[in-house]
Chains A and B, each alone.
Chain A
Amino acid sequence: MSQPLGIDRVEASDAELVRRVRTGDIGAYGALVARYRGRLGRYAVHMLGDREDAEEALQDSFVRAYRSLQRCDDPARFGAWLYGILVNRCRTSGARAARRRRMFVRDADALNGATHADQADRVEWSDTVNRALARLAPEYREAFLLKHVEDMEYEAMVQLTGAGVSALKMRVKRAREQLQKFLKEAEHV
Chain B
Amino acid sequence: MMLAALLLVVQVGVAAQDPRLERLDPETRSVVVWVVDSARAVGLPSEPLIQRALEGATKGAAGPRIAAAVRRLATDLGTARTALGQRTSAPELEAGVAALRAGASPEVLTRLRDARRPPLTMALAVLADLVASGVPADSASAVVLAMAPTARDADLVEFRKAVERDISLGAPPGASAAVRAANTGIRFGTSDAAQNPSQPPRPPSRP
Contacts and interface: CB of A to CB of B under 8 A. Distances in A.
Given A1-B24, A1-B25, A23 B17 contact: yes
Contacts of A1: 23-25, 28, 57, 61-63, 66
Nearest to A2: B62
Contacts of B23: 1
Interface stretch (A4-12, A102-110, A116-124): A4-12
Contacts of A3: 60
A150 interface: no
B60 A2 contact: yes
A179 B19 CA distance: 50
B20 A6 contact: no
B191 interface: no
Interface string A1-37: 1111111000000001001100101000000000000
B117 interface: no
A3 B17 CA distance: 24
A2 B28 CA distance: 11
Contacts of A16: 19
Contacts of B66: 1
Nearest to B17: A23
Contacts of B17: 23
A7 B24 contact: no
B58 interface: yes
> Of residues A2, A6, A19, A20, which shows the largest number of chain B Cβ atoms within 10 Å of its Cβ?
A2
B60 A6 contact: yes
Interface of B: 17-20, 23-25, 28, 57-63, 66
